[in-house]
Amino acid sequence: MIATRDAYGEALAELGAENESIVALDADLSGSTKTGVFAKRFPNRFFNMGIAEANMVGTAAGLASVGKIPFVSTFAIFAAGRAWEQIRQSVAYPKANVKIVATHGGVTVGEDGGSHQSVEDVAIMRAIPNMTVIVPADGEETKGAIRAAAAYKGPVYVRLGRNKVPTVFPAGHEFKIGKGNQLVDGSDLTFVTTGLMTAQAVIAAEKLQAEGISARVVHLGTIKPLDKEIVLKAARETGAIITAEEHSVVGGLGGAVAELLGEECPTLMKRVGIHDRFGTSGKSDELLKYFGLNAETLMEEAREIITRKG
């Protein structure tokens, strides 16, 4: 169990030792986003921009224009919200080599409540041209994703969480932008998941097997560009898709998969996530249960979609 934000802090510090062009900027939240690990090792390459997210993104774009590789971090609600215009105009439009790594995404922010629980950020970032959007499942994938983002030339948005999550991928997992991973084989239906919901889908698939339901699990660590091949293959072979994400079903993973299937392979489908509403205050585990973001809900949806499938 490790929080993806903790894995980010470790990976960024490792990269900093390997590449002097990497710099980090934070909006007075380095203790929470874990860029503080980088700051301690490389104080001359760390910039605390204060509570000025828009200025931070603009500064990062300037640093990128002179060959630096800036990693910009704050909470997802502030990155996708307060700094949206600067991300669009100063980063995405000119294809600036800026990496926006936003932590505290989703309802697992917990007691901070709906005002701080970003459930729209993936949709917002996915809509921006030239933007790559990544949502890792666990700490190991996060480390690989940060390395891949650093090597990639262009804007990247990485969404991370606050809480510790189960480890899905083995140590040293190689992350490839735009490529999904089939974690469990199955023939009756496919769970297409991202973020912390991937571990829940693996649990659900194992339990469903005992009921005679064969569920495939496909994890998409990259939401944009979407791995069309792995999704279409699953749709054609299993005939039923259930997406799962700690995000609004509007415009996130569910929206992306629905768009693809609607155009290229109409398939029986269900979206599990936040259904067009804001988050609320509570303990993270209680909120996941409240919003149905768990293996039990996935199993219920699997039984229902099998019935609908006939």
pLDDT digits (tens, 9 = 90+) for 156-201: 999 999 999 999 999 989 999 999 999 999 999 999 999 999 999 9
Band of pLDDT at residue 74, cut at 50, 70 and 90: very high
DSSP-derived 3-state class of residue 183: strand
For strand 189-193 and strand 215-219, is the pairing parallel, antiparallel, or unpaired? parallel
* Domain ranges within the chain, ordered by starting residue: 2-165, 181-309
pLDDT at 20: 96
What is the percent of the chain with per-residue pLDDT over 70, rounded to a whole number? 100
Do domains 2-165 and 181-309 share one topology? The answer is yes
Catalytic, out of 14, 18, 20, 53: 53
Res 310 pLDDT > 90: no
pLDDT at 172: 87
Res 233 pLDDT > 90: yes
pLDDT at 56: 98
Distance (Å, whole) CA 70 – CA 61: 8
Residue bearing tokens 């060959």: 67
User: Under CATH, to which class is 2-165 assigned?
Assistant: alpha beta
**How high does pLDDT run on average in the chain?**
97
Mean pLDDT of 37-41: 97
* Burial label, 34 (beta-carbon count in 10 A; 0-12, 13-18, 19+): buried
Q: How many CB atoms lie within 10 A of CB 41?
A: 14
For the question of residue 237 being annotated catalytic, the response is: no
What DSSP state is assigned to residue 225?
S
Q: Where are the alpha helices (DSSP H) in the chain?
A: 4-18, 30-33, 36-41, 53-65, 76-79, 84-86, 121-126, 139-151, 197-209, 228-238, 253-264, 284-290, 295-309
Any idea which fold 181-309 has? Rossmann fold (3.40.50)
| pTM of this structure | 0.96
Chain-centroid distance of CA 271 in Å reads: 16
